[in-house]
DNA sequence: CGTTAATTTGATCGAAATCAATCAGTGTGG
DNA sequence: CCACACTGATTGATTTCGATCAAATTAACG
């Protein structure tokens, strides 16, 4: 639960008791290799998940081979929380590198909510953030140019990597192939490549293997008007805890 | 609560007791004229909403005037349910025609959940469906051509209108300007117009004022490979009620 | 090391954007 | 009741961004 605790600590002050109640949550750890499916479309997982380490992606594929990544999941991300009212995933989740996932049974999730404590609220909080990221994803893909999209997602992923405890300063490890990026941004991988190379050539970013360094953040930010408030990182912390 | 009850009845058998507990829910009715903002970005509504009549749209605008519609809201749709952990909307909601909305205080929503009854589960169910529609929206806008997008959204909106109790047979009232459609699908309104005219000219649809008639459903469906299961209309009804 | 997956670059094409006007409907105020 | 303004729909002409096709180069890896 460390990744999750670390994550939640970005939103509000959590103490020993919250850490304890997280650790007390019954769960099973499962690991997946890069490329493995963690959840497949159609199956009923019956569990909620917390990414403990590694990156994953939720995606939907069309019959003809086209596919669209809905979002990326980094350590500390929670998903399928609503599992207690669903019985079949309408999308799949794939591991982007070696991933460790905590799986929590629906009954345990549910008891967390009915309790009404801060820990339950903290989980909610995560799904809210995820939804906000999804909405931003729609705007990005719907109303931004290719260059803006790439700039924007690089800034988002960097920020999220830092929050997840990965990445030192402006450098972070991004285990996402250009084809994957293309599937996330609704572009062709050829074009993704051109944009990335351009960013590199103009000294905005640097790349080495799967590592990205943001060299000229200012330029990158104004290129896509990145407003990171959609990540809800500095909202009023009163929100952690159900408030009436 | 009629619109909501009607909606929920599509998912599962609801009896007098559920209807009663819905009607017992304290709420305030508010009406808005076409074009009015129901929720504005940044404000903290403090309530959850149920659309009672009329259509609305959630949207986000960029500084430079571009804007993106996240989804449309029809009678029976529920939104901002997660209000009990949020304190500021990151997007706005606008009325597309005359809209009546039921507003429910966060404390009342919350008590519905902690109760653990079928009614609370029913609300959840609505948000799940909304999220599924959002995901489909991402795929549609990210990986489909303009013609596919228009065909797909027409089929979706028709289906949803029928569920909402509007629309007779293949005809339905769609109070959405071409510019709005464009903002939903990430296209220019000029191009939306061309696609609609083409559909009309080839006898796939008919249009009169804000009324759309699907003339050749078969062609429309195969044009965009419309799989309506993402609307989760015929899932196992056991889901209504928290299941362990 | 040989084979496959991922990246890179060039050349060409095309779908949809943009620019520009016109037209239809709907108020609405004088 | 009519001129005027305004919003939404329509159509044409032109441009552009990104897709597609094709090939080479460079990792990655069993």
| Beta-ladder partners of A102 | A29, A50
- Report yes or no on B223 lying in a domain: yes
Q: Which single residue is written with the structure tokens 């609370």?
A: B120
Q: What percent of chain B has pLDDT over 90?
A: 56
> Cβ(B35)–Cβ(B85) under 8 Å?
no
> Cβ(B100)–Cβ(B92) under 8 Å?
no
A chain contacts of residue B135, beta-carbon cutoff 8 Å? 60, 70, 90-91, 134
Shared-domain flag, residues B81 and B170: no
Dihedral, CA of residue A25, residue A28, residue A32 and residue A37, to nearest 10? -80
Backbone angles phi, psi at A54, to 5 degrees: 90, 170
Report the domain count for chain B. 2
Residue A191: how many other CB atoms lie within 10 Å: 15
**With a 7 Å cutoff on the CB, does A113 touch strand C?**
no
Shared-domain flag, residues A22 and A123: yes
**With a 7 Å cutoff on the CB, does A188 touch strand D?**
yes
Shared-domain flag, residues A103 and A159: no
Tell me the per-residue pLDDT of A219-239, one tens digit each, with 9 for 90 and over: 999 999 999 888 887 665 455
Q: Which of residues 132-171 of B touch strand C (CB under 7 A)?
A: 145-147
Structural domain that includes position B13: 2-133
3-state percent helix, strand, coil for chain A, nearest multiple of 5: 45, 20, 35
Q: What integer is the mean pLDDT of B211-235?
A: 90
B chain contacts of residue A125, beta-carbon cutoff 8 Å? 85
A30's enclosing H/E stretch is: strand A28-32
Please state, in angstroms and rounded to a whole number, the distance separating the CA atoms of residues B188 and B169.
30
Residue A244 pLDDT level (bands cut at 50, 70, 90): very low
Lowest mean pLDDT among A213-217, B37-41, B61-65, B192-196: B37-41
Shared-domain flag, residues A69 and A146: no
Kindly give, in sequence order, each residue whose CB lies less than 8 Å from that of residue A228, ignoring residues fewer than 6 positions away: A155, A156, A159
**With a 7 Å cutoff on the CB, does B207 touch strand D?**
yes
Kindly give, in sequence order, each residue whose CB lies less than 8 Å from that of residue B23, ignoring residues fewer than 6 positions away: B1
Shared-domain flag, residues B129 and B10: yes
Contact A82 B106 (CB under 8 A): no
Tell me the per-residue pLDDT of A33-54, one tens digit each, with 9 for 90 and over: 999 999 877 777 778 899 999 9
Inform me whether the pLDDT recorded for A4 exceeds 60.
yes
Inform me whether the pLDDT recorded for A101 exceeds 50.
yes
Mutate to test the interface with B, among A66, A119, A138, A144 (most CBs of B within 10 A): A138
Tell me the per-residue pLDDT of A144-160, one tens digit each, with 9 for 90 and over: 999 999 999 999 999 99
* CATH classification at residue B191: 1.10.10.10
Angle between helices B217-224 and B146-163 (to 10 degrees): 120
- Report yes or no on A239 lying in a domain: no
Shared-domain flag, residues B112 and B225: no
Nearest CA in chain B to A90: B230
Provide, in whole angstroms, the distance separating residue A175's CA from nucleotide D29's C1'. 17
- Report yes or no on B77 lying in a domain: yes
- Identify which has the larger pLDDT, A110 or B174: B174
Shared-domain flag, residues A108 and A20: yes
Shared-domain flag, residues B45 and B108: yes
Nearest CA in chain B to A67: B143
Provide, in whole angstroms, the distance separating residue B200's CA from nucleotide C24's C1'. 18
Contact B84 A236 (CB under 8 A): no
Shared-domain flag, residues B128 and B151: no
Provide, in whole angstroms, the distance separating residue A182's CA from nucleotide C7's C1'. 13
- Report yes or no on A89 lying in a domain: yes
Domain boundary among B133, B159, B189: B133
Q: What integer is the mean pLDDT of B1-9?
A: 85
- Identify which has the larger pLDDT, A14 or B78: B78
In 3D, which of B72, B106, B69, B71 has the Cα closest to residue B87? B106
Shared-domain flag, residues A70 and A96: yes
State both tokens at B138: 């991402």
In 3D, which of B99, B101, B81 has the Cα closest to residue B89? B81
Average pLDDT, chain A: 88
> Cβ(A221)–Cβ(A155) under 8 Å?
yes
Q: What is the pLDDT of residue B134?
A: 94
**With a 7 Å cutoff on the CB, does A211 touch strand C?**
no
- Burial of A109 from C-beta contacts in 10 A (0-12 / 13-18 / 19+): buried
Q: Which single residue is written with the structure tokens 């909610």?
A: A124
Residue B244 pLDDT level (bands cut at 50, 70, 90): very low
Q: What is the pLDDT of residue A84?
A: 61
Mutate to test the interface with B, among A82, A139, A148, A181 (most CBs of B within 10 A): A139
Kindly give, in sequence order, each residue whose CB lies less than 8 Å from that of residue B147, ignoring residues fewer than 6 positions away: B195, B198, B223, B224
Contact B68 A131 (CB under 8 A): no
Q: Which nucleotides of C are covered by protein (CB under 7 A)?
A: 6-11, 15-20
Q: What is the pLDDT of residue A236?
A: 55
| Beta-ladder partners of A100 | A31, A53
Nearest CA in chain B to A188: B143
- Report yes or no on A192 lying in a domain: yes
- Identify which has the larger pLDDT, B113 or A97: A97
Provide, in whole angstroms, the distance separating residue A192's CA from nucleotide C10's C1'. 16
- Report yes or no on B244 lying in a domain: no
Angle between helices A118-143 and B118-143 (to 10 degrees): 30
Tell me the per-residue pLDDT of B169-187, one tens digit each, with 9 for 90 and over: 999 999 999 999 999 999 9
Distance from CA of B226 to the nearest CA of A (A): 10
Shared-domain flag, residues B10 and B85: yes
**With a 7 Å cutoff on the CB, does A177 touch strand C?**
yes
Shared-domain flag, residues B128 and B13: yes
Domain boundary among A80, A106, A133: A133
Domain boundary among B133, B158, B189: B133
* CATH classification at residue B47: 2.60.120.10
Tell me the per-residue pLDDT of B158-171, one tens digit each, with 9 for 90 and over: 999 999 998 889 99
**With a 7 Å cutoff on the CB, does A145 touch strand D?**
yes
Nearest CA in chain A to B186: A142
């Amino acid at each position: 639960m460390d990744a999750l605790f670390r994550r939640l600590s970005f939103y509000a002050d959590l103490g020993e008791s919250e850490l304890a109640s997280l650790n007390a949550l019954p769960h099973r750890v499962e690991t997946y290799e890069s490329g493995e499916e963690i959840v497949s479309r159609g199956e009923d997982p019956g569990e909620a998940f917390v990414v403990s380490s590694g990156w994953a992606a939720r995606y939907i594929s069309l019959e003809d081979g086209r596919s669209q990544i809905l979002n990326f999941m980094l350590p500390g991300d929670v998903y399928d929380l609503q599992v207690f009212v669903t019985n079949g995933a309408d999308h799949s989740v794939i591991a982007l590198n070696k991933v460790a996932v905590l799986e929590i049974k629906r009954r345990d999730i549910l008891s967390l909510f009915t309790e009404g404590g801060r820990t339950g609220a903290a989980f909610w909080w995560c799904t809210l953030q995820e939804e906000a990221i999804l909405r931003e994803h729609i705007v990005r893909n719907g109303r931004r140019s290719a260059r803006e999209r790439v700039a924007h997602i690089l800034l988002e992923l960097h920020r999220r990597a830092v929050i997840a405890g990965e990445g030192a300063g402006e450098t972070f490890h991004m285990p996402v192939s250009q084809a994957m990026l293309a599937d996330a941004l609704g572009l062709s991988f050829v074009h993704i490549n051109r944009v990335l190379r351009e960013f590199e050539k103009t000294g905005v970013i640097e790349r080495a293997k799967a590592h990205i360094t943001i060299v000229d953040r200012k330029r990158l930010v104004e290129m896509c008007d990145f407003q990171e408030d959609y990540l809800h990182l500095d909202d009023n912390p009163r929100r952690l805890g159900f408030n009436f």
